[in-house]
Amino acid sequence: MTLFDDTATHLPSSHFIHGAARDEASIKKDRKAADENFVEFWAMQAKELEWRTPWTTDCHFEAPRAKWFEDGRLNVTDSCLKRHALGTNANKRAILWEGEPGDTRTLTYLELYQEVQKAALGLRKLGVEAGDRVAIYMPLVPEAIIAMQACAFLGATHSVVFGGFSSDSLRDRINDAECKVLITADGGYRKGRVIPLASIAHEATRDNCCPSLENVVVLKRIGSVDESNLFKDGGFFQTMSWAELIVEDAHDFEATSLEAEHPLFILYTSGTTGKPKGVVHSTGGYLTQAAYTFRTVFDHRKDDIFWCSADVGWVTGHSYLAYGPLANGSTIFMYEGAPMTPDAGRFWSMIEKYHISVFYTAPTAIRAFMKHGPEVPSNYDLSSLRLLGSVGEPINPEAWEWYHEHIGSGRCPIVDTWWQTETGAIMVSPLPSETPTKPGSATREIPGIKLEILREDGSPAGENESGYLVSKQPWPSMMRTVWGDDERFQKTYWSKFKGAYFTGDSARRDSDGYIWIGGRVDDVVNVSGHRLGTMEIESSLLNHPAVVESAVVSRPDDLSGEAIVAFVTLQGSIPLDKKLSDEVKAQVTKDIGAFARPADVRFVEALPKTRSGKIMRRLLRQLAREGVINGDITSLEDKSIVTKLLAER
Ligand code: WT7
């Protein structure tokens, strides 16, 4: 890609337009309405949901505080389940699921609603009330969505912890939110192996490490662990199986009516400092935007089978598995396992088998498929596909073109969607019948969203000038606070520019108004679409007894987008060998999870520091990326370090 390649545009194919749910004119109407009054536009979208009590004030915004539909009351399960289950969609399939070993399950809207009622009543019997927090640490099975919806049914705020996180990470999250209940499973399948979730959860909660916990519920997925005994050693909380939780006779059980601003969920994400932050999302505003973006960006058609390959442990899984599609009465497909298991054709075989029509995945997965060659997908019938999506990191134009040609046969538009855990739902994306696409650009804001690109001094950046991506305008699904640390919320997002939410990303806008994301400008790295704070990894490295100091940077990687390079100094005269390097990497797997494991560990005599003792990561970044250090080193305290670092490579 040349830097300003603004010209390569792809128009939506006539094949797509012919079968699209929404045409260009109707999208233009949305844009016009939103441009005239974005608050009224969003209020119009909110009316598509079920409300118990209508609201009178659409939006109240005084940065950093935003409230949407504040005096309205609702329960998201009315929109996601009840209206479908008790209406004409009762027998429509809500969830199609396949486990990694090939086992399958289908749930209609009526069945899903009933399962949620039963689980919700079970949780109620454990004493779970509106306002309580429930941690969910599960594989990608239908019960993960049932558990989330059951919490929402009661007004209990859920905190889903991705099943790839370590016991330490799980413990920190349970304790930060003071969760009353933990819902987990005996295990899940991934890459042909069993991830022993219950054992990890047991490790996280043993010895009264989680004093707020009153109950642990364990789903039997694998069947190899005696779940009822696993947690019984300490007696600090009650344990039961999922089967014991379920209350069969729950059909009269009604969902709780909640304020629109009630916290629907907390989701932890990495930031600049070591401790992950609990991003808090609302009920009414969140669902409004999750539902609207699902409908509009993915051009929702009643007969679609929508597959979002993200785990529910990430925000993508929240908004485009658990909430957005269900609010629209769509049929979702869920797959538990890894893309290359048992072989590189697994994804394509499922698209063929389930007639998936809309497929949403991450660039890192697309790049992995590219490595196996276009012959693999060409062996499958992918003609059910009509639209493709990308999310999580910038998609390089080569991957975009490959996806377009070999998966979409040139006929499926690609929606490259930019958003964040904090934004709750899609903010920037093409709308498939309307927006010509340029590979590598997420194009423009969706209707009702307006972003700005600012210079360091807060003035607007010019055309094609890179700057900080911000929003001065509120949007319904914006995060409301950091759980338990509102000061951090204000400082992290609202202090760089007065009255503006700072995304942490840099971007430029081209002459057509298209946004090109430049990546993070803070200490956040993106490995395979997983967001990690370099500080988190550094503090984990320090937990290894041999490590004295550490500095973590990233370098570009063909497959994972970015890869982690850790520079460490060691205690005294510890011999350097491969074993030590593996041990240091294993420390990160233990503390955070395997997805955070550094690709390289480099043992160095000393880290480059300024006179005031700050590590100059800029130099290490250059060394990791280009193999040289030729930047400005005037503030470096000991200049001989540069020569040593270069020699130690
Ligand atoms: C960061 C947010 C969006 C849900 C999953 C990730 C990067 C995300 C794109 C995209 C370029 C992207 C940004 C953003 N990012 N989507 N389409 N193009 N960059 O959510 O873990 O909160 O990460 O991911 O840097 O700030 P997240």
Question: What's the pLDDT score for residue 2?
Answer: 42
Candidate from 270, 294, 414, 418 with most ligand 1 atoms within 8 A of CB, to mutate = 418
Quick check: 310 and 316 in contact, CB under 8 A?
Answer: yes
Q: Write phi, then psi, for 226 (nearest 5 degrees).
A: -85, 90
CB proximity list for 412: less than 8 A, separation 6 or greater: 13, 16, 385, 386, 387, 388, 404
Stretch 203-216: mean pLDDT, rounded? 95
Confidence bin at 103 (pLDDT 50/70/90): very high
Q: What is the pLDDT of residues 402-425, one digit of tens each?
A: 999 999 999 999 999 999 999 999
Ligand 1 centroid to residue 459 C-alpha, Å: 24
Least confident of 226-235, 329-338, 353-362: 226-235
Sheet holding 481-482, edge to edge: 238-241, 215-219, 181-185, 133-137, 157-160, 265-269, 277-281, 481-482
Verify whether ligand 1 is closer than 6 Å to residue 163 (CB atom).
Answer: no
Calculate ∠ Cα 580-585-587, nearest 5°: 95
Nearest CA to ligand 1 atom 23: 420
Q: Return the best residue to mutate from 426, 445, 517, 525 for the ligand 1 pocket (most ligand atoms within 8 A of CB).
A: 517
pLDDT interval class at 520 (50, 70, 90): confident
Supply the pLDDT for residue 362.
Answer: 95
Choose one of 531, 554, 560 to mutate for the ligand 1 pocket test, by most ligand atoms within 8 angstroms of C-beta. 531
Residues in CB range of 612: below 8 A, 6 or more apart: none
What is the average per-residue pLDDT within 540-564?
92
Ligand 1 atom having least distance to the Cα of 517 = 11
User: Closest Cα to atom 2, ligand 1: which residue?
Assistant: 420
416 ligand 1 Cβ < 6 A = yes
CA nearest 430: which of 448, 443, 449, 439? 443
For residue 418 and ligand 1, the question of a CB distance below 6 A is answered with: yes
Our answer on whether the CB atom of 315 is closer than 6 Å to any ligand 1 atom is yes
Region 552-562: what's the mean pLDDT? 93
| Residue 535: per-residue pLDDT | 86
Q: What average pLDDT does this structure show over 571-575? A: 74
pLDDT of 236 = 84
Average pLDDT over residues 361-376: 94
Listed in sequence order, the residues at least 6 apart from 561 whose beta carbon sits closer than 8 Å to its beta carbon are 363, 364, 367, 393, 394, 526, 527, 528, 529
Ligand 1 atom nearest residue 395's Cα? 18
140 CA distance to ligand 1 centroid (A)?
21
Q: Name the phi and psi angles at 620, rounded to 5.
A: -70, -35
Q: Best-predicted range by mean pLDDT among 170-184, 575-589, 633-647?
A: 170-184
Q: Which of 426-430, 472-476, 575-579 has the lowest mean pLDDT?
A: 575-579
| pLDDT per position as a tens digit, 141-168 | 999 999 999 999 999 999 999 999 999 9
Atom nearest to 519 CA in ligand 1? 25
* Cα-based distances in Å from 99 to 62, 132, 208, 310: 46, 31, 34, 14
The model's confidence at residue 3, banded by pLDDT at 50, 70 and 90, is very low
Nearest residue (CA) to ligand 1, atom 16: 392
CA distances to 266, 379, 490, 596 from 457, in Å: 33, 54, 19, 34
Query: What's the rounded mean pLDDT across residues 320-345?
Result: 97
SS3 for 606-648, per residue? CCCEECCCCECHHHHHHHHHHCCCCCCCCCECCCHHHHHHHHH
pLDDT reading at 61 higher than 50: yes
Nearest CA to ligand 1 atom 19: 393
Report how far residue 504's alpha carbon sits from residue 493's, in angstroms, rounded to the nearest whole number: 8
Cis peptide before 64 (omega within 30 of 0): yes
- Which atom of ligand 1 is nearest to 531's Cα? 21
Q: Is there an atom of ligand 1 within 6 Å of 237 CB?
A: no
Return d(Cα 508, Cα 570) in angstroms, integer: 41
Question: What digits encode the pLDDT tens for the residues 477-502?
Answer: 999 999 999 999 999 999 999 999 99
Q: Is 503 in the pocket of ligand 1 (CB under 6 A)?
A: yes
Residue type present at position 442: A
> What's the mean pLDDT when you consider all of the chain?
94
- In the predicted model, is pLDDT for residue 373 greater than 70? yes
Residue 524 CA to ligand 1 centre (angstroms): 11
- pLDDT of amino acid 5: 56
421: Cβ below 6 Å to ligand 1? yes
User: Residue 219 forms beta bridges with which residues?
Assistant: 185
Q: How much distance in Å is there from the Cα of 419 to the middle of ligand 1?
A: 5
DSSP helix/strand/coil, 307: strand
In a mutational test of the pocket of ligand 1, which residue from 294, 311, 393, 478 has the highest number of ligand atoms less than 8 Å from its CB?
393
CA of 267 to the centre of ligand 1 (A): 15
Per-residue model confidence as pLDDT tens digits over 126-145: 999 999 999 999 999 999 99
Contact between residue 447 and residue 33 where contact means Cβ atoms under 8 Å apart: yes
Ligand 1: does its nearest atom lie under 6 Å from the Cβ of 98? no
**Range in 5-9, 30-34, 73-77, 443-447 with the lowest mean pLDDT:** 5-9
